Amino acid sequence: MEIRVAVIGTGNCCKSLIEGVSFYSGNSASRIPGLTFAEIGGYRCEHIKFVAAWDVDARKVGQPLHVAINQLPNCAMTIKSDASDVCNNTIVRMGPVLDGVGPLMPTYAPSETFIVSTQIPDSPETIVRILTEQKVDVILNYLPVGSQLATEFYMNCALTAKVAVVNCIPVFIASDPVWEQKFINAGLPIIGDDMRSQFGASIMSAVLQELMFSRGIDVQVHYQDNIGGNTDFLNMQDKQRLVSKKISKENVIKQQNIINGVEIKPNTIHAGPASYFPALGDNKRAHFLIKAEGFGGSPIELTADLSVQDSPNSAGVVIDALRLIKVAREMNIVGALHGASAFTQKTPPIDMSPSLAYQEVKNLAERKFTTFTEVMVKDKNPNAEQLVKYFKSLVTRK
């Protein structure tokens, strides 16, 4: 009983996930602090194995995976564990660069940025062969923000090799009906797009927005600002690569308006990475400002600050996504996992209220079909474009 994972990109998020899987392995408690679900469909953390990995950094390519995750420019805190236990002697292979390394990256110090390996990258045929030989269940996309071509390259490899995908970056695959239909036709599930942390700025914004609407509050301004010092924030100093990220982060807030039937007024919502400050390392700091009106037009203003370790915060969600997609595949569910995507990602095909998304995930964890999954069974030949319209009608309050 295993979940065999191939990782694309062995950066900070990968480091935290691998160390976390090892850290929680063997804990048989029914409730485990730090995890949303101790068990999902019979799968616990120890069932996750990392059997293939690709990167482009010279300090990582050719290294055992458990060694590569501790090389620069990774700066995430170390979760004390024996990461080699879950890495199956996996060696990091050279992937194609394509648009995975932004033009600004070489202008920074080597300790902060990528050093591209001179090794010959694997061909699509080689990658598909390895995915097949290693019996990979799911590809985990951890490429840098803005890697459109590189993401599409690996998506095509996944489709050819018949491997499910968890897409953790804001390249829109699961939320694009054309791409989703490709996964449906291949008989594969997908979770995406753009990972939403366990307790980060996005889930805070979504919950606050929903809470205010549920209490009859008129939200007039919702501002969210982020700063950090890891390679993710460095990469996003390139404004061209930041475009999809800003769309994705603002989607989190806007979708709560749409779900609740509240007009989105121009220039009232802002969310996005603001600055790169290397001294912060993997510490991400977020600031929130919400201006609103309550009963009788009375003014309400909320300000808040959040400080988290960015990469462990992401791993706390991905560790669930990997198990959810394995269970979905065993249940013959294909295409986007709508509940799991809404729970774990910033830009799912269909957004939901946080409470509904959690209930959908809980049902999948118990192997129960719902309105959102029973029509996504392979034998029913689901049509992505038609179902998106249908599901949106279900989650939008009239």
How far apart (Å, rounded) are the C-alpha atoms in residues 328 and 3? Answer: 12
Sheet of strand 164-167: strand arrangement: 92-94, 48-55, 3-8, 138-141, 164-167, 189-191, 335-336
Over residues 256-301, the pLDDT tens digits come to: 999 999 999 999 999 987 789 999 999 999 999 999 999 999 999 9
The whole-number pLDDT of residue 396 equals: 84
Which string of DSSP letters, residue by residue, matches 118-174? -SPPPPHHHHHHHHHHTT--EEEE-PPTT-HHHHHHHHHHHHHHT-EEEE-SSS-ST
Residue 218 has pLDDT above 80, yes or no: yes
Give the residue-averaged pLDDT of 71-86: 97
Give the residue-averaged pLDDT of 78-104: 97
Identify the bridge partners of residue 292 per DSSP, sorted by sequence position.
219, 300
Superfamily for the 3-196+312-365 domain: NAD(P)-binding Rossmann-like Domain (3.40.50.720)
Over residues 9-39, the pLDDT tens digits come to: 999 999 999 999 999 999 999 999 999 999 9
How far apart (Å, rounded) are the C-alpha atoms in residues 57 and 101? Answer: 10
In CATH, the architecture of 201-309 is 2-Layer Sandwich (3.30)
Residue 142 has pLDDT above 80, yes or no: yes
Residue 203 has pLDDT above 60, yes or no: yes
Which structure tokens are listed for 72?
Answer: 């620069």
- Asked whether the beta carbons of 206 and 347 are under 8 A apart, the reply is no
Mean pLDDT estimate for the chain: 97
How far apart (Å, rounded) are the C-alpha atoms in residues 37 and 323? Answer: 10
**Helix/strand/coil percent split, the chain, to 5:** 40, 20, 40
The whole-number pLDDT of residue 272 equals: 83
Over residues 235-262, the pLDDT tens digits come to: 999 988 989 999 999 999 999 999 999 9
Give the residue-averaged pLDDT of 347-356: 95
Question: One-letter amino acid identity for 86?
Answer: V
Sign of CA dihedral 277, 280, 281, 285: negative
CATH 3.30.360.10 in the chain, residue ranges: 201-309
Give the residue-averaged pLDDT of 149-173: 99
How far apart (Å, rounded) are the C-alpha atoms in residues 349 and 31? Answer: 30
Sign of CA dihedral 104, 107, 113, 115: positive
Give the residue-averaged pLDDT of 383-397: 90
The whole-number pLDDT of residue 265 equals: 94
CATH 3.40.50.720 in the chain, residue ranges: 3-196+312-365
- Asked whether the beta carbons of 160 and 182 are under 8 A apart, the reply is no
Which structure tokens are listed for 314?
Answer: 């992401």
Give the residue-averaged pLDDT of 308-327: 99
Give the residue-averaged pLDDT of 319-334: 99
Q: Within 13 Å, how many C-alpha atoms sit on residue 141's CB side?
A: 35
Q: Within 13 Å, how many C-alpha atoms sit on residue 52's CB side?
A: 26
Q: Does the reported pTM lie above 0.75?
A: yes
Give the residue-averaged pLDDT of 167-186: 98
The whole-number pLDDT of residue 398 equals: 57
Over residues 110-123, the pLDDT tens digits come to: 999 999 999 999 99
Give the residue-averaged pLDDT of 217-232: 97
